[in-house]
Amino acid sequence: MSRIGKKPVPVPQGVTATIDGQHVSVKGPKGQLEAELVREVEARMDDGGIVVAMREDTQRARSMWGMSRTIVSNLVEGVSKGFKRELEINGVGYRAAVQGKNLQLQLGYSHEVLYPIPQGIEIKCEKPTLITVSGIDKQKVGQVAAEIRGWRPPEPYKGKGVRYAGEFIFRKEGKKK
């Protein structure tokens, strides 16, 4: 049994949630998000918040139960607080800057990498070596951060590249004479 799925999703003040069959829509101070739940689970409003339950006790329903509850929880958290992912750039001459609707990255290639910022995502560069990706959709924030990291993932010998803040890079020892 899912221990995550049993907990109701609390709806904070200032956030409104509407459930229409399998369609969950949440509106809050930061914006509006929607999700379509799988047919094996059902969502309903309760005095404790939004409750996600299985329709019948099958293997697939048990698999989808906790995931569906987490999706609804991410909708509520996104419209109330938002999500943020930080990336650090390590390497000589590696830097980033926001220019208009593009993120300009210099990552040791012969050319600059221009990454168009998707709609609904905000990217800030407080320092040339620190990128902050923020938005209300957790999946979109994570995807954008992964695409930026994908241009130059950290390498194990010197640790150069783009990495998540707090990510541990397993370091290797170089060649010996």
Both tokens assigned to 61: 């329903």
Percent above pLDDT 90 for the chain:
73
129 plus 68 within the same structural domain? no
Q: Domain end: 48, 80, 112, which one?
A: 80
Tell me what pLDDT residue 175 has. Answer: 86
What is the rounded CA–CA span in Å between residue 17 and residue 10? 11
- Do residue 28 and residue 44 come from a single domain? yes
Looking at the structure, tell me whether residues 59 and 100 fall in a common domain. no
| Position 173 in a domain | no
- The pLDDT tens digits for 128-170 are 999 999 999 999 999 999 999 999 999 999 989 999 999 899 9
Q: Residue 48 has what pLDDT?
A: 77
- Give me the DSSP letters along 39-87: TTEEEEEETTEEEEEESS--HHHHHHHHHHHHHHHHHHHHHHT-EEEEE
Inter-helix orientation angle 59-80/138-150, to 10°: 90
- Per-residue pLDDT tens for 21-47? 889 999 999 999 999 999 999 999 988
User: Is 35 inside a domain boundary?
Assistant: yes
How many domains are contained in the chain?
Answer: 2
